[in-house]
Structure 1
């Protein structure tokens, strides 16, 4: 069964005018050329964001986005 990557899911959350934290995360991730675009792995993504994503003010935003991702995938 095909499962989209987290990045592919995240791009569906983009909204340039949105105030939602996940929408803002998605908007900023779009401009992050090093984002692990093929990953479906929580640990890999979490580590990358902690080390590289200055645009993510809190990891709880990633956690929220990851929950939405899992809900969509199931």
Structure 2
């Protein structure tokens, strides 16, 4: 994920797999993605989505964090 090795916590369902990506070292949350695990999974109406194939990434998001020695401002 974005050049980092990751461990995955996954949940399968309806032709898709939801992945949480965790850094191999340090355990930092790296992001999430939805992968297609079978050809033509159902769309929102339950009809086959023929343009999707197993192995396609339907959605992904990368999380970032910075550790600083300065605390955030208070209001």
Q: TM-score range by the shorter chain?
A: under 0.3
| Larger proportion of helix | 1
Which structure would you say has the larger RCO, counting Cα contacts within 8 Å and 6 or more residues apart?
1
Give the TM-score normalised by the residue count of structure 1: 0.22
Relative to its length, the structure with more strand (as a share) is 2
Query: TM-score scaled to structure 2, two decimals?
Result: 0.22
Return the index of the structure with the highest Cα Rg: 2
